[in-house]
C-alpha cells in the first residue's frame, strides 16, 4: 500500500508542476506580446525623432493631447521623444531579462516533470512485476 | 543477412511519421498566411501613401477647392478648402507638425522608404517559410510513399556511432585510420570514378613535370633519358599506372624518352598484363555482384526493392556525415575502369580497397 501512496503523491506533484509550467508558458507568451508592442512603438518614436530633427527651428509642432492639439516647442518635443525612446529601450531590456529568466525556469520545470514521469513509470513497472 | 550488410535500412515513415510532417507543414503554412496578411496590410499602406502624395502635390495648384465636407457619418455640406499649402502632418506618437505641401511630400517619401524596407524583409521571411513548408511537404510525401533510408557506415576507428543494427557492431573490420571500407556497387563506382580522376590528375602532373624538365635541360638529354626512366619507373611502381596509357602518353609527348621507355616497357610489360588480367577479373566479379546478388556477396541489400530508394536522407548524427547528402545510384553499364584497383596506391596513405573487399568476401 505504501507504493500506491507514493504513486499518488507523485501524481499530485506532477500535476502541480504541470500547472506551474503552464503558467510560465502563459507569462512568456504575454511577455512576447508586450515586447512586440514596445518594439513597434520604438520604431515609431524613432521615425518621429528623425522627422523632428529634420524640421527647422521655427516650425510649429503640436501634440495631440486628448481631443486638443497643444502647441509645443520643437526642442521640448525633441527632448520628450528622446526620453520616450530611452524609456522604451530600457523597458525592452528589462523584458529581455525577465524572458530569459522565465525560459530558464521553464526548462528546469520541464526537466522536473520529466523526472517525475520517469519515476511514475518505474513505479508502475515495479507494480506490474509484483 | 543483417550482420553482413554494413548499413541499416529504416523506413522514413518510422522516423518522421507522415501525419507529423503534415502537421508541421500546416503550422508553417499558417505562419505564412499570417505573414501574408501583414504584407497585405503594409502594401495597403504603401498604396495609401502613394495616393496621399498625389493629392498633396495637387492641392496647392489652386488657391481654393470647393469640396463637400463630411459632417457626421451620413451628411455632407458644401465647403471650400483654403490655405491649400498648409498641412498639419501627423509624425506619429501624437506629434503634428505644420508643413508645406513640398515638405509634406518629403515626409511621405521617407515613410515610403521605411515601408518598402518592411515589405522586403517580410518577403524574405516568407521565402524562407515557403522553403520550410515545401521541405515538410516533401518529407510527408516521401514518408507516405514508403521511402527507405539507407545508412551505410563509414568505418573509422570510431565505433561510437552505433547504428541500430546490432550485428554491425561486432564485426572485426580493419579500422586503421583513414581506411575506406566501402560497401555496395554505389561505393565501388564512386570509388572507381574518384580513383580514375586521381589517376588523370597524376598523369597530368607527370606530364607537366617532364615537359618542364625537358625545357630546362635540353642539352643533357642522353644522361637524362636514364634519369627519366628511373623516375618514371618509380612513378610506375608507386602509382602502378596502366601501362598502355603510360606508353601512349610518352610516345606521343616525349620522343626523348622513347628508347628507354621501350626497354623498360618490355621488362614491365608482363607484370602490367598480369595486373590488367587481375583487374578485369575483379571488375567482372563486381559486375556479377551488381546484377545477381548471391548470398555470399556484400553488396548491400535493399537497393533493388523500392524503386524510390535512390535518395538518402542525411541522418541527424554528424558522425555519419562522411557521405554526401544524397547518393544517386547509377546503372551498371558505366564503363568499368580496368585499372581501378591498381590505382589505389596513388592515394598513398590509404590501404588498398580491393583488400577490404576480399576480406568482406571471406566472411
Q: Higher confidence at residue A73 or residue B188?
A: A73
Q: What is the DSSP letter of B352?
A: P
Mean pLDDT of B55-82: 92
Q: Collapse the DSSP code of A9 into the 3-class scheme (helix H, G, I; strand E, B; otherwise coil) and give the result.
A: helix
Task: Read off the pLDDT of each residue in B150-162 and give the average, rounded to a whole number.
Answer: 66
- Distance (Å, whole) CA B351 – CA B178: 8
Q: Which cell numbers in the block locate residue A102? A: 522565465
pLDDT of residue B360: 53
- Nearest CA-CA distance, residue B89 and chain A, Å: 9
| Chain B contact present for A88, CB below 8 A | no
Q: How far apart are CA A129 and CA A31, in angstroms?
A: 47
**Predicted confidence band of residue B157 (pLDDT cuts 50, 70, 90):** low
- CB-based contact B93 A84, cutoff 8 Å: yes
Is A62 within 8 Å of B88 when comparing Cβ atoms?
Answer: yes
Q: Which residue of A has its CA nearest to B94?
A: A64
What are the φ/ψ torsions at residue A119 (nearest 5 degrees)?
A: -65, -40
A79 CB neighbours in chain B (<8 A) are none
More confident residue, B14 or B259: B14
pLDDT digits (tens, 9 = 90+) for B205-232: 888 877 766 665 554 444 444 444 445 4
Question: CB–CB of A48/B92 below 8 Å?
Answer: yes
The correct CATH number of A2-129 out of 3.50.50.60, 1.10.287.370, 3.40.470.10, 3.40.50.2000 is 1.10.287.370
Query: DSSP secondary-structure letter at B64?
Result: -
Which residues of chain B have a CB within 8 Å of the CB of A38? none
Are B115 and B123 within 8 A, CB to CB?
Answer: no
Q: Give yes or no for B109 touching A (CB within 8 A).
A: no
B245: pLDDT strictly greater than 70: no
Residues whose CB falls within 8 Å of the CB of residue B157, separated by 6 or more in sequence, listed in order:
B175, B176, B177
Of B94, B98, B111, the CB nearest to A60: B98
Phi/psi region, residue B83 (left: phi>0; alpha: psi -120 to 50; beta: rest), is: left
Taking contacts as CB-CB distances below 8 angstroms, the residues of chain B near A64 are 94-96
Whether the Cβ atoms of residue A10 and residue A119 lie closer than 8 Å to each other: yes
Give the tens place of pLDDT for each residue, B15-63: 778 888 888 889 999 999 999 999 999 999 999 999 999 999 999 999 9
| Cβ of residue B107 closer than 8 Å to a chain A Cβ | yes
- B270 vs A98, which has greater pLDDT? A98
B277's enclosing H/E stretch is: helix B258-291
Give the chain B residue nearest A78 (alpha carbons): B95
Segment B113-128 mean pLDDT = 95
**Does residue A62 belong to the interface with chain B, where contact is any CB pair within 8 Å?**
yes
The pLDDT tens digits along chain A (130 residues) read: 566 788 888 889 889 999 999 999 999 999 999 999 999 999 999 999 999 999 988 889 999 999 999 999 999 999 999 999 999 999 999 999 999 999 999 999 999 999 998 888 888 888 777 6
CB A74 within 8 A of CB B121: no
The CATH number that domain B7-145 falls under is 1.10.287.370
Model confidence at B171: pLDDT above 50:
no
Q: Where are the domains of chain B?
A: 7-145, 187-310+334-362
What count of other Cβ atoms lies within 10 Å of the Cβ of residue B282?
19
Average pLDDT over residues B332-359: 46
> Residue B331 gets which letter from DSSP?
-
Average pLDDT over residues B141-165: 69
Q: Which of B93, B98, B114 sits opposite A59 (nearest CB)?
A: B98
- Per the prediction, chain B carries an average pLDDT of 67
Other beta carbons within 10 angstroms of residue B65's beta carbon come to 13
In this complex, is the C-beta atom of B99 within 8 Å of any C-beta atom belonging to chain A? yes
Across the interface, of A44, A50, A55, the residue whose CB is closest to B93 is A44
- pLDDT, position B153: 75
pLDDT at B322 exceeding the cut of 70: no
**Which has the higher per-residue pLDDT, A51 or B168?**
A51
Amino acid at each position: 500500500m505504501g507504493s500506491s501512496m507514493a504513486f499518488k503523491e507523485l501524481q499530485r506533484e506532477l500535476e502541480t508542476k504541470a500547472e506551474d509550467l503552464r503558467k510560465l508558458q502563459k507569462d512568456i507568451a504575454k511577455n512576447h506580446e508586450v515586447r512586440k508592442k514596445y518594439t513597434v512603438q520604438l520604431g515609431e518614436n524613432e521615425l518621429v525623432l528623425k522627422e523632428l530633427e529634420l524640421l527647422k527651428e521655427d516650425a510649429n509642432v503640436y501634440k495631440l493631447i486628448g481631443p486638443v492639439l497643444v502647441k509645443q516647442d520643437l526642442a521640448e518635443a525633441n527632448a520628450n521623444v528622446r526620453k520616450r525612446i530611452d524609456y522604451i529601450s530600457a523597458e525592452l531590456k528589462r523584458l529581455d531579462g525577465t524572458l530569459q529568466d522565465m525560459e530558464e525556469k521553464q526548462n528546469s520545470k520541464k526537466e522536473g516533470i520529466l523526472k517525475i514521469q520517469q519515476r511514475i513509470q518505474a513505479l508502475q513497472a515495479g507494480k506490474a512485476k509484483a | 543477412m543483417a550482420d553482413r550488410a554494413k548499413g541499416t535500412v529504416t523506413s522514413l515513415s518510422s522516423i518522421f511519421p507522415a501525419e507529423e510532417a503534415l502537421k508541421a507543414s500546416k503550422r508553417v503554412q499558417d505562419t505564412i498566411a499570417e505573414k501574408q496578411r501583414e504584407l497585405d496590410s503594409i502594401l495597403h499602406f504603401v498604396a495609401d501613401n502613394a495616393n496621399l502624395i498625389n493629392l498633396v502635390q495637387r492641392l496647392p495648384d489652386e488657391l481654393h477647392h470647393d469640396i463637400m465636407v463630411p459632417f457626421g457619418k451620413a451628411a455632407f455640406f458644401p465647403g471650400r478648402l483654403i490655405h491649400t499649402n498648409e498641412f498639419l502632418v501627423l509624425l506619429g506618437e501624437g506629434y503634428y507638425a505644420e508643413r508645406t505641401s513640398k515638405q509634406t511630400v518629403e515626409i511621405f517619401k521617407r515613410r515610403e522608404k521605411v515601408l518598402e524596407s518592411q515589405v522586403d524583409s517580410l518577403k524574405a521571411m516568407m521565402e524562407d517559410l515557403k522553403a520550410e513548408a515545401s521541405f515538410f511537404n516533401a518529407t510527408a510525401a516521401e514518408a507516405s510513399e514508403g521511402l527507405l533510408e539507407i545508412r551505410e557506415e563509414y568505418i573509422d576507428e570510431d565505433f561510437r556511432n552505433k547504428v541500430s543494427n546490432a550485428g554491425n557492431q561486432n564485426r572485426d573490420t580493419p579500422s586503421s585510420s583513414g581506411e575506406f571500407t566501402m560497401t555496395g556497387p554505389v561505393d565501388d563506382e564512386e570509388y572507381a570514378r574518384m580513383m580514375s580522376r586521381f589517376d588523370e590528375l597524376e598523369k597530368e602532373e607527370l606530364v607537366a613535370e617532364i615537359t618542364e624538365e625537358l625545357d630546362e635541360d635540353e642539352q643533357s638529354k642522353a644522361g637524362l633519358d636514364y634519369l627519366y626512366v628511373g623516375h618514371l619507373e618509380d612513378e610506375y611502381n608507386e602509382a602502378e599506372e596502366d601501362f598502355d596509357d603510360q606508353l601512349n602518353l610518352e610516345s606521343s609527348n616525349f620522343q626523348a624518352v622513347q628508347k628507354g621507355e621501350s626497354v623498360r616497357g618490355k621488362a614491365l610489360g608482363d607484370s602490367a598484363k598480369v595486373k590488367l588480367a587481375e583487374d578485369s577479373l575483379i571488375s567482372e566479379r563486381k559486375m556479377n555482384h551488381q546484377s545477381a546478388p548471391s548470398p555470399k556477396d556484400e553488396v548491400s541489400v535493399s537497393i533493388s526493392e523500392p524503386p524510390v530508394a535512390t535518395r538518402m536522407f542525411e541522418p541527424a548524427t554528424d558522425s555519419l556525415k562522411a557521405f554526401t547528402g544524397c547518393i544517386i545510384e547509377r546503372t551498371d553499364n558505366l564503363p568499368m575502369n580496368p585499372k581501378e584497383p591498381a590505382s589505389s596506391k596513388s592515394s598513398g596513405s590509404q590501404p588498398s580497397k580491393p583488400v577490404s573487399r576480399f576480406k568482406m568476401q571471406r566472411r
